[in-house]
Structure 1
Amino acid sequence: MTTNAKLDAYRTDAVSRGIKVLHPVYLDRAENAEVWDTEGKRYIDFVGGIGVLNTGHRHTKVMKAVAAQLERYTHSCFNALPHEPYLSVASELNRRCPVAGEARTMLTNSGAEAMENAIKLARAFTGRTALIAFDGGFHGRTLATLALTAKVAPYKKGLGPLPGPVFHVPYASRDNGVSAKASLAAIERLFKVEVDPADVAAIVIEPVQGEGGFLVADFEFLKALRALCDKHGIVLIADEIQSGFGRSGRFFAIEHSGVKPDVVVMGKSLAGGFPLAALTGRVDVMDALAPGGLGGTYAGNPVACAAAGAVFDVIDSERLLARGAELGALIERHVPRLKAGPHGASIGRVNGVGGMRAFEIVDDGKPAPQKLQALIAAARRLGLLLMAAGEHGNVVRLLPPLTIPFDQLDEGFALIDAALAEVAV
């Protein structure tokens, strides 16, 4: 039998040390919200590929669509020889994305690649270069997206200057105590002290921060950002890479606010585990570059596009938007039960919206990242996979598939309770 320990030793010899692994257990098979490692141990998966598997591992409709596409052709570079699956996905996104007016779409391989192209288009459309992003934001690890990402260690450390100019301001959310007024004041100060708004190409924001700990942007702040961008001719880019496709209880999280961005950047759960991402936006922004200015060899791979078509079907036919809201309601009942239990002092604030939920681990009300790491290890031993987030690394983000059976969600929280008993002091 191949053991997790042997494979982990193999990883150390074969893989760059820059790739950190959270769980040193190696996947053998998976089904919906359950996974089994190479030693045959079963786990409930609250990680979901970091938000990739809203429709679960190996959804029947996704697998069937992929198998059918494999029988026809596996690849065609869309720039050279286009294909209908790309057009079908683009058409669906144009219809579903909450942008004002007529929309256009570009498909990419990853969320970071989609954000890179959103930056290119915003610069081409406005003729400007500067970007504004927010504290706690995560937008990727490529050089341009890393400049937007608001965390030095481990992402930016030792890299020197990154593409810019990029400016960061506080993120307004009821979850972090930063008011819309304070964040808007920070932007106004930026315009007076650091950068002329006439030089700003885009403001980039996550309607719900992922890596930041599932903080929900203040809706009035989002509305004020929309007005600010309109006033100064700035492109408003919504990063929905983690929050999209039903996770928040809406197709896209920004829909909760009623705000329509100029460009929506997405990825992760778009194709049910197959590598596909996209950006959809106003036609005038999306057409700002000349033919040939956008593209990519594997972007919009037909197999991944077939998977995405099935994901749209599953979201609609299985009512995953409503199910995301139902999961959120269940989590809102489970976490207070943990807080009311014998180890409830370790549980802090609950963040998020819909099925995109997280809760803090604390000691005497203060962030306790080491306790969270111990909790993650204890939960894994008991058969539950969790992961951390947040500015201080003390937030448990919950990303089970939206298709998880409710009894498995209950089982997962029972395992969290048992893990808390192991690590409580």
Structure 2
Amino acid sequence: MSQRSVILLGSTGSIGTQAIDVISRHPDRFSVTGISAGGANPTELARQAVALGVQAVAVADPAAAPALFAAIAEAAFAAGHTSAGVEVLAGPDAATELAGRPADVVLNGITGSVGLRPTLAALRAGSTLALANKESLVVGGSLVAAALQRPDQIVPVDSEHSAIAQALRSGASREVRRLILTASGGPFRGRVRADLKPVTPTEALAHPTWSMGPVVTINSATLMNKGLELIEAHLLFGVPTKDITVVVHPQSVVHSMVEFIDGSTIAQASPPDMRLPIALGLSWPERLDDVAAACDWTAPREWTFEPLDEEAFPAVGLARAAVAASATHPAVLNAANEECVAAFLAGRIGFLEIVDTVARVLDEHDGAARPADLTLEHLLAAETWARTRTNELLART
């Protein structure tokens, strides 16, 4: 594989920092030309820019630009070279502008629906999109599909979808019976609904397996993350939601499976380490050497699989209903959930109110747009309505 140019969106987050670790250990394979972040940590963003030798840095918060300029100059001075060649883009559209620039691979590690515009920009530019921003597909699935220039232009970075993509190499699409998404079960696996009422943000942020950002971690605790992943799998692989099963696998070693029509099931297994799907996203369809530790097959191990308790964790059912309801219901699901998670982390609502409020907002939404008629404006209007309505409902609690 020749060296690939990479634009890395969300470089200071969990996905971004692990991607930099992979790239730094394979300097002959990748060169990073641009990075982006929200702007909360300009010193770290500047350090990354200088260490990677990027051409451009994008920051979403324009108020962070002066601090970023100064930090780049300071980091460059400490490294013994000039920062004059680093371009700084600032503002809410900065990541989108950066994503639309020429690159072999754009890795979208942004959290939330703000990642949709950069996803569309990368696809329209013809880059391979290593997609860790599941909200791009959940919110704008038909728009993303329309922007594709080739069938293999999106390479999934979520561990579950990377596992499915690998397993699908074992057969033709017509031979697939169903997809099996595995879930760790989060910190509250085995609890009934009544046990979840007093859950605090600190408890919900204590994920037993993965180290992730706060939004994704709370989504894993409610299992909304699995609902979003179900929608993503449906859109990525063209499999109806009725043919996607969610099972709880607390060891998080089998990352997902594909069941074929002959009765065979192909699983992808590895210790829980996001560097593996990130590396595949960057190098697909080839593999890199020694990205992470493999399973130790010489030691006794026990893997368990349990059915999902949909009474205690109804988020997956909501996701199925959203797909069936209309083209804009998934966007409403995601927007309402983002507002509820923020309210929960701020201590304004209880844990159970997250998914309960999302369900109320979905029930009230009138999804008039058909997929063929859907525009970005439709989606943005649905999102705006969902956020407004969610906060109206939360203000009453």
Query: Could you tell me the TM-score, scaled by structure 1's length?
Result: 0.28
- Give the helix-richer structure, 1 or 2: 2
- With a CA cutoff of 8 Å and minimum separation of 6, indicate the structure with the bigger relative contact order: 1
Query: Could you tell me the TM-score, scaled by structure 2's length?
Result: 0.29
